Amino acid sequence: ENQLPLLMFHDVCWPHERRDTYYAPDRVPESERQPLAEKCTIEPGNPGVSDGGLPFDWAAAREGGPKNGVLTAIEDFMERRGGLRLAVVPVFFGFGVLWETAAPYSDAVAASIAPYDRNPVMQRAEANRVALLVRTHKDAKTIREQNQRIADYEELLGRMLQSSALGLAERISRARQRGNPIFTRQEIGDRLEGKPRQ
């Protein structure tokens, strides 16, 4: 067998270690492809898709199982070939280094990368980074939804200001509240213009 070169991989940790994602799933034979989720979000601890999290155009609908994920593919290759060693540096979704243990540089590579291989402090820092990233995406989604809701309210109130029925409601409220109506058209207009409450 030909000697393998020193191989380096990205995305060997979450979210891609045990879940395939695709840029163009139609280029992958359906028999070799995971069941898909389109325009989905995922988060750690949820093997399916989530309501908020990291967004993907196409991802495996479930995490785990055979032929699913970058790390799974590397492990399958190692099992077939043998005589290989994998180091995983758990930063920025995971950096992997794979080499033959019989290679002349094997000991030097092992010694160089050993302090970082599955380092628990780095794993914790990466978990915190990912959690913050997921939270940021969730918060951004919430803000977008709230901004849209505000825009809808403003559009509705703007139309209501043009309605004679609103003027009548204000006059009725003024009469019932002895000159202090619950709302005024002026007050609604001021809010829509961003003027502070008096």
For residue range 171-184, list pLDDT tens digits in order: 888 888 888 888 78
Query: Pick the residue with more confidence: 127 or 181?
Result: 127
Between residues 52 and 64, the one the model is more confident about: 64
Q: Write down the mean pLDDT value for the chain.
A: 93
Q: How far apart are CA 38 and CA 115, in angstroms?
A: 39
Residue-wise pLDDT for 55-89, tens only, equals 999 999 999 999 999 999 999 999 999 999 999 99
Q: What is the DSSP string of 92-153?
A: TT-EEEEEETTSTTHHHHHHHHTTTTT-HHHHHHHHHHHHHHHHHHHHHHHHHHHHHHHHHH
| SS3 category, 3 | coil
Q: Higher confidence at residue 28 or residue 169?
A: 28
Complete edge-to-edge strand list for the sheet that includes strand 7-10: 7-10, 95-100, 84-89
